[in-house]
Structure 1
Amino acid sequence: MIKRLEKIADSVTQSASKNSATSRLQGFWDIFDRDDEVLILISADPDAIASAMAVKRLLSYRVQSVAIGYPNEIRRLNNITMVERLKIPLERMHTLPVKDYSKYILVDSQPNHQPCFEKIEFDAVIDHHPVTKGWDAKFIDIRPEYGAVASMMVEYLRAANIKPSVALATALFYGIKVDTQNFQKKNMQAGDGISFRYLFNIANLNLVRKFELTELRRSELKYFRIALNEVKSRKERAYVHLGKVGTPDILVIIADFFNHVDKFDWVIVSGVYGEKLVVIFRCDGYRKNAGKLAQKTFGEYGPAGGHKEAARAEVPLKNLPLRENHEFTTNSLIRIITRHVK
């Protein structure tokens, strides 16, 4: 009897969820006309790219055309590989005739997240970040409790009875993995898991592994040699300064690498990118707080902070108290950290 009641309750919950998804889908579709030329805008990352692909699929055969634009440069090799392997049609925002479109959709962001977005009156905004003020749209679906917008888009597709292609399912699957940090983030709910499980049997998992593993260019292998030669340990803290780097992403990769080494409770990796010193902090987040350490040690020089287990500082070089012929070194990094933390 109890099991029967549980099944009935589950059935009611699923029915309510489907009705809600169908209602959202219809509300979204209602704002478009057959002759609309639609522009979807995103700050390009895996979740945003995949979600934009899903929105474009939802509008197929319902509008005249759909384009996806983004203002930021895609630097991460994982993301470049994703776009190239799946042949995703994206265009830089500055190359598009932005004013010529009849409808505008913002995905995985909100209008005041980017100055270039603030100038546009969006017809639809779909996001999972905390709600901000000072803007409006005809259709708004913002669910901060979701770990990824891709999870929300799977619900839209299923409500529309659209089975995603392998390429779309692969993108959505990867988008959920990245934004939920493999389901280790706290701000998730059952919808993320349900969408992820649905995509599991459709997505190309070998391609997903390729995206995840493609982090390094061959030209960046030299930074591992520098790091291994340069790393210094003080009180179970690993310090490394890599000098000038072509992208701050390599600092994250090196920091994560050293974070797997035994007896390193803290990893602090820095490098010079442009006119800024970028510092990456890593720890286990247990009785330690990387965000607080970043703020405490570099906050007086520029933006610094983050989460318990991972943090970052990006400060202008001109703000730093430099010695040693005005060059920042691993010893400089140690000196700044130990000045605040004994």
Structure 2
Amino acid sequence: MALFRQLDEQLEKMLALFNKDERWLIVINADPDALGSAMALKRIMTRRVQDVAIGQINEIKRPDNLAMIRYLRIPTRKIIPNLAAQYDKFALIDSQPHHHPAFDDYKFTLVIDHHPVFKDKPVDAAYTDLRPKYGATCTMLTEYLYNLKIRPAKLLASALMYGIKTDTSDWEREFIDADVAAFKYLSKFSDPSLINRISRSEFHLDWLRFFSRAFYNLRRVGTGGLFAHMGKVENADILVIVADFFTRVHGASWVVISGIAEDKLVGIFRGDGIRRDMGKFAAQMLGDLGSAGGHKGAARGEVPLEALKNEDPEMFMLKKLGQGKRKMFKRL
């Protein structure tokens, strides 16, 4: 029995896209799954194209992401127009074009992703591989490497393994047998000490004050929901860390943490994946005014502040949370 499924037809179609006269840029919204996947695709494309690089649309400030880039030597750069202009073709990894307005600037030739697929938002690319049942895009890229008989070096294997670890939230979110097989396969080549070092780099010391703000603003929403608006934050990653923390509260089946970052209202959605599909919830709440989406257990939405038409962001979120149902909001 094969360790992974065979990808002969897919690989033939994908490899046919690569030309030694062309320069490719792998575009990501950087997080561990995107970073590991991009690193793997770069390894596959090396020597098949003239040049290949990784570029992220977001500022990377989360300590674990910075540690991952540093210790695993991931060569990613913030995309600016002058950088993008140097490349002929673009690949999108661990995202779909509708996930972020910044992706509108590119015509993608290749898209590989594991997030949910929406019929009303089709992906237009010469090559697409979308597998929403997978727990991580890193699992998909591990399958590609295996089918191409490319043994991942220590740093690449560690990056892929860490990507699977984080996107499955240490196996607390949905995953399939392929994710487990990839994790087990990569463990033969990865460096556990590097992964542990990255895992322990979760917080900036000055971020701890935001937990105090979250506790003060925390509200119960209906039955099993928690919501806190954080006001203005220096980086949206703070909202992610706070939201992940509150998922550990006993009796909380879902959590929404919002804040203002870079002139946008950002909402981070977390849930147990049982009572509520957070990806659909985020899309229903914020998708009509901005961009939103994700998985059953984790999602994100962003709305430009001008779209609120001077409405208070916290009141806007509370109205959206109560839309269509009678909700009880109670401060803790």
TM-score bracket, shorter-length normalisation? 0.7 to 0.9
**How far apart, in 1, do the equivalents of 2:110 and 2:64 lie?**
29
Which residue of structure 1 aligns with residue 27 of structure 2? 41
Structure 1 unmatched ranges of 5 or more: 1-9, 323-327
Which residue of structure 2 aligns with residue 3 of structure 1? none
Q: Give the secondary-structure state (helix, strand or coil) at the position aligned to 1:25.
A: helix
Give the counterpart of 2:139 among 151, 166, 173: 151
Structure showing the higher helix proportion among its residues:
1
**How far apart, in 2, do the equivalents of 1:221 and 1:52 lie?**
31
Give the counterpart of 1:75 among 61, 64, 68: 61
Contact 2:220–2:227, Cα closer than 8 Å, also in 1:
yes
Which residue of structure 2 aligns with residue 167 of structure 1? 155
Contact 1:22–1:156, Cα closer than 8 Å, also in 2:
no
Name the amino acid aligned to 2:146. Answer: R
Q: Give the secondary-structure state (helix, strand or coil) at the position aligned to 1:61.
A: coil
Between 308-317 and 214-223, the greater mean CA deviation after superposition:
308-317
Which residue of structure 2 aligns with residue 213 of structure 1? 200
Q: Give the secondary-structure state (helix, strand or coil) at the position aligned to 2:80.
A: helix
The correspondence of residues 1-342 of structure 1 with structure 2, limited to 5 A, is 10=1, 14=2, 17=5, 20-94=6-80, 96-129=82-115, 130=117, 132-133=121-122, 135-137=124-126, 139-186=127-174, 188-227=175-214, 242-261=230-249, 271-273=259-261, 316=305, 319-320=310-311, 340-342=326-328
Structure 2 unmatched ranges of 5 or more: none
Name the amino acid aligned to 1:32. Answer: F
Residue identity (%)? 40
**How far apart, in 2, do the equivalents of 1:273 and 1:120 lie?**
24
CA separation of 1:43 and 1:277: change in aligned 2, threshold 3 A: closer
TM-score (norm 2): 0.73
Q: How many residues align?
A: 317
CA separation of 1:70 and 1:281: change in aligned 2, threshold 3 A: closer
Contact 2:91–2:109, Cα closer than 8 Å, also in 1:
yes
Q: Give the secondary-structure state (helix, strand or coil) at the position aligned to 2:19.
A: coil
Which residue of structure 2 aligns with residue 5 of structure 1? none
Larger RCO: 1 or 2 (CA < 8 Å, sep 6+): 2
**How far apart, in 2, do the equivalents of 1:126 and 1:264 lie?**
33
Contact 1:241–1:333, Cα closer than 8 Å, also in 2:
no
**How far apart, in 2, do the equivalents of 1:239 and 1:15 lie?**
43
Name the amino acid aligned to 1:213. Answer: R
CA separation of 1:275 and 1:318: change in aligned 2, threshold 3 A: farther
Q: Deviations over 1:131-160 (max 9, x none)?
A: 6436231x3333333222211211121122
Shift of 1:318: 5.8
